[in-house]
Amino acid sequence: MGTEENKATIQRLIDQVYNKQNFALIPELVSPSLIIHVVPEFGGHDGLRQHILDAKQIFPDVKVTIDHLLAEGDLVAYTATFKGTHQSGKEIQNTAICISRLEDGKEIERWQGATSGAPSIRQQLNN
């Protein structure tokens, strides 16, 4: 797959799977061997689905927006803003920097971390 197709896969993953919970698309967009390097690490189709469901339980109206999207070879780098209202009623916003590796048109690996200088979700909830 080319860089434009890889970027389109990531955009579709965020728009359709994260934001609309269209979990039927996971096998089309994500490798069953997916590993996401965060604390704690998780992966696979079931791990991704559960991660999204857990986030929706805590932040029922959460929306993820891709702010910047770049690709080279099998890597797609992007910043994503996570906005939502915590079940306590507090609104939060956090931006992450992500680098995804795609293989055969599917995300197989992702490195993800919050941007520096921004208050963490925990800090926002404690204010």
- What's the predicted TM-score (pTM) here? 0.91
Average of per-residue pLDDT values in the chain:
93
- Confidence class for position 119, pLDDT limits 50, 70, 90: low
- Each domain of the chain, given as residue ranges in start order, spans 3-126
> 98 CB contacts (<8 Å, ≥6 apart)?
77, 78, 79, 80, 110, 111, 112
**Half-sphere exposure in the Cβ direction for 23 (13 Å, CA):** 10
Is 43:121 a contact under the CB 8 Å cutoff? Answer: no
Distance in angstroms (rounded) separating the CA atoms of residues 40 and 83: 21
Per-residue pLDDT band at 89 (split at 50, 70, 90): very high
The hierarchical CATH code for the domain 3-126 is 3.10.450.50
Would you state the pLDDT for residue 126? Answer: 79
Q: Report the DSSP beta bridge partners of residue 113.
A: 97
Residue 127 has pLDDT above 90, yes or no: no
User: Quick one: average pLDDT of 93-102?
Assistant: 95
pLDDT of residue 117: 63
Query: DSSP for 71-92?
Result: EETTEEEEEEEEEEE-TTS-EE
Contact 107, 30 (CB under 8 A): yes
